[in-house]
Structure 1
């Protein structure tokens, strides 16, 4: 039962985290640098792989540092942090381990997040024209807002649908007031 709940909640938590990361990253190069730094921090022995034991140690440390405000109690976001570090590590491996060897490379992690971003883009692009508009992003963000209460979002600094126009402008490199898949993935 715990594994089933985890498999349902992890994609939700990953989606919320990714959308937040994508919308707040400075630019594509910065996002890639953050992936590298994050990966290297997890790779405790420096062998170029992140294995389950390394991920368990990282997740244990994160669990010890999580201090969600009371406004987030009872939300999906808060429930994600009730899982043991082993479960969180297994979920990350399942999410990103492209070759199934039980350990992660930087290339696998980046590829998994890019696939996730592409999937998110497709979900937001309601008319399937290959572009994300402000209206489409607003609708998607409103739908996601039911998973994290307004009080919780405010407490953790997570923006709501009212910021969709700002996010589109930030990601829109060619100035056409819409975001292509490439523009979205690069952020």
Structure 2
């Protein structure tokens, strides 16, 4: 995981930068009841939709890492810290491996489409092209782990 944490700084606005608006959209995907917070059960439900089966201990660890004020909720600011800091308990490698269904070390367009379908969303070809324009830095038509980490750890 060390490789993904040593990403090069990007200039604000540069192609590929994950914007706070994008993170708000991701946050809303986790906030199933729309109350502006992610509760423990919402975290579990979203992870299960993504094909993961977190144990109670894993959920506890993730929630403890995120819920800094210990109010039982993850607000957007706490979510931003997770999204940008990549704490070990929310391993990007595990997420990447879930998305990389065939285990070849790359997330293909098909795998990306499947991941979004599992979360209840359908992506148009246009959507997928837009994502790849921002993430696929070497333009090989696939997202490797380094590109994935770069996307997930970019700071605004």
Q: What is the TM-score with the length of structure 1 in the denominator?
A: 0.40
Q: Which has the higher helix share?
A: 1
Higher relative contact order (CA 8 A, sep 6+): 2
Q: What is the TM-score with the length of structure 2 in the denominator?
A: 0.46
Q: Greater CA radius of gyration, 1 or 2?
A: 1
